[in-house]
Each structure stands twice: as C-alpha cells, then as structure tokens.
Amino acid sequence: MKKLILLGRSESGKTTLTQVLRGKKITYEKTQYINYYNALIDTPGEYAENRELGRALALYAYESDVCGLLVSATEPYCLFPPNITGMANREVIGIVTKIDHPDARPYMAENWLRIAGCEKVFHTSAKTGKGIKELLDFLNN
C-alpha cells in the first residue's frame, strides 16, 4: 500500500478519514501532532494553516508516497493556492470529504483542488463509506 499523508485545514476530515481507512470506529479526536499509522500520516490542520508550521509538512511529506490534499465539501474557501502541487516531488491527489452533508458543495471543492493542481480527485464520505473503496484501491495499486 502506498503511504499517504493527509494535509488540510482543521476540521476538514483528516482524522476521521484516517480512522475509516484504518477500519476503526469513528470518534472525534483533535489531532495535536503528526500521527503515523503504517501507511497513513495524519497531520494537524494548524500545520497547514500556519506558515511557520507548514514547513514541517514539507519534511513529513518526504516520508510518504502520496500527498492527499483534503477539502471539505462544506468549506467556504480553499486553503490551497493555485498550482501548489508543483512544489511536491511526489504524486498529489485531492480528496473531497463530507460529501454527504446537507450543505455540501462537492464540485466546488473539487474545482478548488483541481486549481491547486490535483489531477486525481476522490469524493468521500466517512459516514456513508462512499468513495472509500476507490481511494483504497488507488493506494493499493
């Protein structure tokens, strides 16, 4: 399985997605530091939201095979600037989370990820499981 690092704003669904991908029960846990789980690296949103802490993400990304940029389908804006994926020296995928939410705008989130440079974008729901198999299949190939 390819090792995936999850990057995104606080409350974008990184830890919940990590729990689902690991086959664990979903419980809310605020991620306070970088967590390693075999083929997954879960990061705190503050690292992506803070310029100084963001540098650490670049270092941790070297330990992964794939970088996953997460944007919740409920977010009012995108944290990632245009063409940010060009800075990575590994594959970067987009992951839209919370597609089952009543206020979800998954295609807006997908557009933001594509502008950021993601060529592959997965739509997921940790609650219903939609899109999880496709993401796992990608990571296992």
For the stretch 70-127, pLDDT in tens is 999 999 999 999 999 988 889 999 999 999 999 999 999 999 999 999 999 999 999 9
Most confident of 35-39, 56-60, 133-137: 133-137
Where exactly are the structural domains of the chain? 4-106
Total-model pTM: 0.94
pLDDT range class, residue 59, cuts 50, 70, 90: confident
Backbone angles phi, psi at 15, to 5 degrees: -70, -40
User: What's the confidence (pLDDT) of residue 43?
Assistant: 92
Beta strand spans in 43-119 (E)? 66-72, 91-97
Question: d(Cα 51, Cα 40) in Å, to the nearest integer?
Answer: 23
Which strand ranges, in their side-by-side order, compose the sheet holding 91-97?
A: 35-37, 40-42, 4-8, 66-72, 91-97, 121-123
- Specify whether the CB–CB gap between 79 and 8 falls below 8 A: yes
For the stretch 38-58, pLDDT in tens is 899 999 989 888 888 878 888
Q: CA 99: distance to chain centroid?
A: 14
How far lies 34's CA from each of 14, 43, 55, 128, in Å? 11, 5, 13, 26
User: What's the confidence (pLDDT) of residue 67?
Assistant: 96
Question: d(Cα 60, Cα 44) in Å, to the nearest integer?
Answer: 12
Top CATH class of 4-106 equals alpha beta
- Specify whether the CB–CB gap between 105 and 64 falls below 8 A: no
Please say if the pLDDT value at position 29 is more than 80: no
